[in-house]
Amino acid sequence: MSPRRTFGATWWGRAWVEALEGRAKLDPNRLPRGRTYARKGRVSALDVTAGEVRAFVQGSRSVPYRVKVRCRKFSGDEWSALLDKIGQQVGYMAALLDGELPPELAAAVDLLPGPGDLTPRCSCPDSADPCKHAAAVCYLVADEVDADPFVLFLLRGRGREPVLGQLRARRSRAKVVVEEPGLTPKEAFARKPSALPARPPAPPEPGHPAALGEPPAGSGLRAEVLSSLAADAAVRALDLLTGGDSAPLTREEDLARRGSSEVPEAWVAAWRRAGRGGLAALRESWQPPRAALYEARSELDDADLPGETRIWRNRLTRGEIQLRLGKDHLWYLFRQGAHGWLPVSPGARSPLDVLSGQ
């Protein structure tokens, strides 16, 4: 049984849920139904803009309900006070640039919704505040906050770039040059370097890319495609960090790995079954040492397979199976199908090993 879907993978995402269920003073009778709707995937086309969240929610009717949840925007004075608090600590801005919301900053500036801050509206006939459809949308805002804590700022009226731009302007005006005694080059080189800190452990799962805005009109780019590429890069980075294949991928290999329609379906299938080595064995033929081929032929003979063994370059074919020796010195078992000869599984060090795994 799969674990129940929760909301708020980061502490700031959980803080949104806690505010939603506590201090926001929303109808407690509708929130549980909203959680159920959110878990069942009833919400679509969720869009967060300045001070507002819009989405469609599939209810009992065939036509989805239109939901709009407004969040009270900060006044100019409130923004000024908030930016002053952020500017007091250099580390706050660095954390925000890294996609993090420090707990001490959240404690100093109240971005979370309080009583009367959220105004849900839905096209359904339910007059509750909120109805279950609007409640489902409110819960899914936690996912947006998980991906990018700047969503909390956007709901208060200003997005990432305006906030960071105003912080930079404030720091520029307040910058003070502090005179510090310098070092001569000789003194600097004479200093003993500190020991490198221990490398932190790899994260348990790939990170979540920050939410992306819409690309410039006419660029030919789409936000969902860029987000998909960013998520794929996070998966690839974690694989490299934890001991995966560190060799850079060619364009064709990467397209096959991602299942792109720009390469033949056989390449995609080969990658999924046997990885980089299997794809190479599918695409390449070469002349290995004859002794390796004769040894493989002997293994096929011992397997009592029907037919005669035919040898061509790095390939031995007998009946419905084929052994291919890759340039990585691994043997790959191929079988014939709708897309021709395709690898069955990852390679093995010996023909016997790859045959025993068939």
Predicted TM-score (pTM) of the model is 0.48
CA distances to 46, 49, 184, 221, 232 from 213, rounded to whole Å, are 13, 10, 47, 11, 18
Q: What is the pLDDT of residue 352?
A: 81
Q: What is the pLDDT of residue 246?
A: 62
Taking only Cα atoms into account, the Rg of the chain, rounded to an integer number of angstroms, comes to: 29
Strands 310-312, 315-318: pairing is antiparallel
Helix count and strand count (H, E) for the chain: 14, 9
Q: What is the pLDDT of residue 178?
A: 43
User: pLDDT truncated to tens, each residue of the chain (358 aa)?
Assistant: 446 778 888 888 888 999 898 887 888 888 999 999 999 999 999 999 999 999 999 988 989 999 999 999 999 998 988 888 887 777 777 777 776 777 777 666 678 888 989 999 999 998 888 999 999 999 999 999 988 888 999 999 998 889 888 888 877 765 544 444 667 777 777 888 778 888 788 888 887 777 777 778 777 888 877 887 888 788 778 877 877 666 788 889 988 988 888 899 999 999 999 889 999 999 999 999 888 888 888 877 777 777 788 889 999 988 888 999 999 899 999 998 877 899 999 998 888 888 876 5
Q: What is the pLDDT of residue 179?
A: 45
Structural domain boundaries in the chain? 11-172, 249-356
Beta bridge partners of 311: 316
Query: Rounded to an integer, what is the distance from CA 332 to the centroid of its chain?
Result: 32
Q: What is the pLDDT of residue 334?
A: 94
